[in-house]
Amino acid sequence: MTTAAPLTLPRPPHARLPFPYRPEAQALAGCRERLGRGFDWSAVVQRARPWVQAVREHPAPFWAMESLLKEYPISSAEGLALMRLAEALLRVPDVETAIALTADQLGRADFDAHDGSQGLLARLSATAIAMSKSFLPEAGASEPGLMQRLGARTVVAATLRAIQLLGRQFVLGRTIDEAMGEADSQRRAQPRLRFSYDMLGEGARTEHDAERYLAAYAGAIRAIAASASGRSALQDGPTGADGISIKLSALFSRYEELQRERVEAELLPRVWQLVALAAEANLNLTIDAEEVDRLELSLDVFEALARRIAAQYPRWAGFGLAVQAYQTRALGVVDEVARIARTLNLRFMVRLVKGAYWDGEVKRAQELGLVGYPVYTRKAHTDVSYLACAKALLEARDVLYPQFATHNAGTIGAIDQLARGLGALPDTHFEMQRLHGMGDGVYREVLKDGIGALRVYAPVGEHRDLLAYLVRRLLENGANSSFVHQLADPRVMPEELLASPLALAHAGEQAEGLTLPAQLYGVARRNSVGVDISCLAQRAPLEAAVALAQVPAVPLADAAAVDAAMARLQTGFEGWNARPLAERAAVLERAADALEGRLPEFCGLLVTEARKTLGDCVAEVREAVDFCRYYAQQARTRLAEQELPGPTGERNTLRLHGRGVFVCISPWNFPLAIFAGQVVAALVAGNSVAAKPAEQTPGVARRMVELLHEAGVPTDALVLLHGPGETVGAALVADARTAGVCFTGSTAVARHINRALAAKDGPIVPLIAETGGLNAMLVDSTALPEQVVDAVVQSAFRSAGQRCSALRLLCVHESIADGLLEMLAGAMRELRVGDPARLDTDVGPLIDAEAHAAIAAQVQRLRGQARLIAETPAPQALPDTQTPVAFELQHIGQLTSEIFGPVLHVVRWGGAPEDVVQQVNALGYGLTFGLQTRIDSRAERLAHLARIGNVYVNRNTIGAVVGVQPFGGEGLSGTGPKAGGPHYLYRFCAEQTLTVNTAAAGGNAALLAGGH
Ligand SMILES: Cc1cc2nc3c(=O)[nH]c(=O)nc-3n(C[C@H](O)[C@H](O)[C@H](O)COP(=O)(O)OP(=O)(O)OC[C@H]3O[C@@H](n4cnc5c(N)ncnc54)[C@H](O)[C@@H]3O)c2cc1C
């Protein structure tokens, strides 16, 4: 054996693929060109039509599920209920909650309304469900009667059983041995069948998870190697034998582009262990394809491993990866893999799939405001891409062994045609693949026609681990666009089922009804453009800007400066307020465009001055852009003059205008977004503004003020006044010319301002205060622990916990608390604390030494009073840094004050969740609240009960989006109205009704002219 080649990722990272967000039409044109003209789809139809007919005449076993889904498509309430139950019921540990969940889901679905014209089993299931519903309590009722409880237990047991059966359709065995036994028995009927085993589960969140998966994969490879299939692999090679599919996200909790160093140091050696095992046994090991943002990284990992394979196992041809055709870069991936093979003189196996996470990719692109979608948006486009990739793979068969994974008879027919055209032989040059439990009927027919060898992707796992996978399969079987769904529907004619994707995809345009992220809010308001930091081309300008960032110096204002500014602003108010509304709104829109164009520069400033991580900076600049556009749009519609109804002979008009000089006092934790949001709201309403930024972050504020001036805000309508709250802030609040105050910060300072305003003579002016919170999240036993941990880590520790929306109190149901807290502790250990300018930093330092000293003292106190759950390790003591830490309290009442840092409190709860919400209400704050439950009626009920401004269900509790989640609380958390919401601007306005007696001058001419 040669000396091991180093396992290193390409350095520095380079973009090896086209830009992920280029226009869809452009990517599609590349596919068409590659496919060439003259592809005869009618021949495909001729080939595939008999398969379709035969399957419809003789459906394969398990048709039950498909027909159930046809009766109740995933898009219907009933289908959704089935999916929701399938996703959650098996993991619920306590009967009462299981009953509540079942009642909730079955209760909202209407299984009895169907006439059941199709499918006996579907009809029977529906009848059974409809009948059993009568044994369930009303959805949401907490205390069902005894009879109902007895009946409900039976219904739940039956539902559980049904879901287990549904799951078994898609899982070959609970253990690798059981699965291999099942594989052997299937092989008795079809001797040439091969399997690729997959160990089911969620992605790793902790080191412990990763070790568990590593052991499971290694055990599986050893088991396959020891089997007859493994022995045949040693002789005949990986194509003829069973193999394994692995997910890199299962082997490392931080398998992310921004964690490249750790991926290299921790993930690579781990995967190598598996690769070496598979190579020794001469088996196929395929790396599954996961989310788009991991694509480049996965290729880097693949190449790093391939280099070592070239050195150590140069004759092994079993290493492979999956390529998703729905990605607009798919063709580039195929070419890249072929290039690597040629460079290293290796052969790879490449599984071509269409892709399993389409819905998730579309959502992510919309949330991040990306310039386009990284996936095709029309099914036909994905199909065309699949064909182009298939052709490219077959053409590279000297170095690649294509594995075509599809259940679509049309796609299979097209592969057959491509292969014939290129002289590629089934089995020798390529194989087909299907998922266990899917495509049985189609392949039964296809194999009769001699189209090659078939490998079955065979998930292995216990019930609990299969849930996420099961849901994917239900979605695939239930989606209208999916081939298997249409195949099960006899109303879909074969012509439609086998329609040519080439004909359907002629223009290459994006799908109708699926707006680009930029157009999410319609024509009236453009969404802010975001950045995909996982994409090198997109993050490079940000990194450059951080390196160059220079925070401008801002002179301190003194009492004289405040006085002069107020005088100036009072004069400036008249002119600005007199400007037409449309003009003021246009100024905001110009500012938004300018800010968007300078996103990297502002990110650089934020990282440097406010110590924020890059991801947080991008989100913050976007928020500021959104504020400008949103308030401009709101002003146009809501602040326009309104004619009011009244008696004839009179005209009544309501109009709004600025109040005067507004004082805006903003915090350091969102030195751009909150600062800009307050200022532009006040401005667009017609006020002039004295803007006082936080003492720690005047530089960002100064740049924003300059930008607003350049966009057209007169210099006497907006003045920046930097200085301490106690002097500058206090002077501004006390000034007689102040017509209103908009403040975001601590509850204590808000009270102070309130008192100062109340003590003044003269007009009583409005105070808009947004203050802190003791934000809680309630988790019941239906929640998915992995999702909860993700949400908790983001909510509690992002921005070092220095958000007013940050999670402070996690309330976990006692039945799942031990496991969940262990996972949380493991996930916390994986966070990276450090310099915010580094891309791999999750948690940066606190804003300054003073904040650090205060938080450190509070944490010290907690160490004596509460049980430490976990603490993120830090390699060395870092200045001003509090590492994320979590403590368990005995009860909610122990929490009395907000710790404005990465410090989480946890309590366990039992009994009624309503009581928990009441206790949270009793804390007096009301800013954000998280609910993690699959019981929809419970979420609805608890949200109503919560006296809290922003309630989030099954997600994190931070990052409210302007105009989407208007932000602000009640009680001790603020006065409202919510920032970024439709009621905000009114508070900055004075109102006037103008009543004109139009009949005064002699009579009511209009009425008389009407001729009644
Ligand atoms: C053996 C095997 C291994 C697999 N491994 C992976 C893997 O590693 N990674 C992975 O992601 N998936 C994997 N899959 C899942 C696979 O992505 C889906 O099963 C596959 O997409 C279904 O395609 P089809 O040709 O059978 O069905 P079809 O019905 O022809 O295609 C459905 C697919 O089209 C695409 N699609 C649907 N609507 C749209 C739209 N509006 N715009 C664009 N595209 C759309 C989606 O990809 C959807 O899954 C694997 C599947 C098999 C059979």
* DSSP-assigned letters across all residues of 921-953: HHT-EESEEEEE-S-HHHHHHHHHH---SEEEE
Q: Is 655 exposed, middle or buried (0-12, 13-18, 19+ CB in 10 A)?
A: middle
Given 617, 664, 804, 811, which residue is catalytic? 804
CA of 251 relative to ligand 1 center, distance in Å? 23
For residues 118-125, give the mean pLDDT: 51
| SS3 labels along 661-713 | EEEEECCCCCCCHHHHHHHHHHHHCCCEEEEECCCCCHHHHHHHHHHHHHHCC
What digits encode the pLDDT tens for the residues 980-998? 999 999 999 999 999 999 9
C-alpha torsion 883→884→889→895, nearest 10: 90
Q: Is the pLDDT of residue 118 over 60?
A: no
Inter-residue contact 242 to 194 (CB < 8 Å)? yes
Token digits of residue 186: 């299937």
**For this structure, is 664 an active site residue?**
no
What digits encode the pLDDT tens for the residues 791-803? 999 999 999 999 9
What digits encode the pLDDT tens for the residues 386-396? 999 999 999 99
What digits encode the pLDDT tens for the residues 836-854? 999 999 999 999 999 999 9
Inter-residue contact 702 to 684 (CB < 8 Å)? no
Q: Looking at ligand 1, which residue's alpha carbon is closest to its atom 21?
A: 354
Residue 469 to residue 462: CA distance in whole angstroms: 12
What is the percent of the chain with per-residue pLDDT over 70, rounded to a whole number?
93
Sequence-distant (6+) residues with CB within 8 A of 488 are 59, 63, 66, 67, 69, 70, 477
Phi and psi torsions of 25, nearest 5°:
-60, -35
Question: What one-character-per-residue DSSP string does 850-876 give?
Answer: HHHHHHHHHHHHHHHHSEEEEE---SS
Q: In a mutational test of the pocket of ligand 1, which residue from 44, 298, 354, 472 has the highest number of ligand atoms less than 8 Å from its CB?
A: 354
The pLDDT assigned to 83 comes to 79
- Residues near ligand 1 with C-beta < 6 Å? 288-289, 322, 324, 326, 351, 353-358, 376-379, 381-382, 405-408, 411, 433-435, 457, 476, 481-483, 511
Given 303, 770, 830, 898, which residue is catalytic? 770
User: Regarding predicted confidence, which is higher, 234 or 921?
Assistant: 921
Residue 825 to residue 820: CA distance in whole angstroms: 9
Q: Is the pLDDT of residue 117 over 50?
A: no
Q: How many CA atoms lie within 13 A of 370 on its CB side?
A: 25
Inter-residue contact 971 to 925 (CB < 8 Å)? yes
Q: Is the pLDDT of residue 112 over 70?
A: no
C-alpha 559: how far from its chain's center? 48
Phi and psi torsions of 847, nearest 5°:
-65, -40
Q: Looking at ligand 1, which residue's alpha carbon is closest to its atom 32?
A: 482
Residue 658 to residue 652: CA distance in whole angstroms: 20
Name the average pLDDT for the chain: 92
Residue 551 to residue 658: CA distance in whole angstroms: 33
**For this structure, is 770 an active site residue?**
yes
The pLDDT assigned to 144 comes to 54
Q: In a mutational test of the pocket of ligand 1, which residue from 170, 353, 456 has the highest number of ligand atoms less than 8 Å from its CB?
A: 353
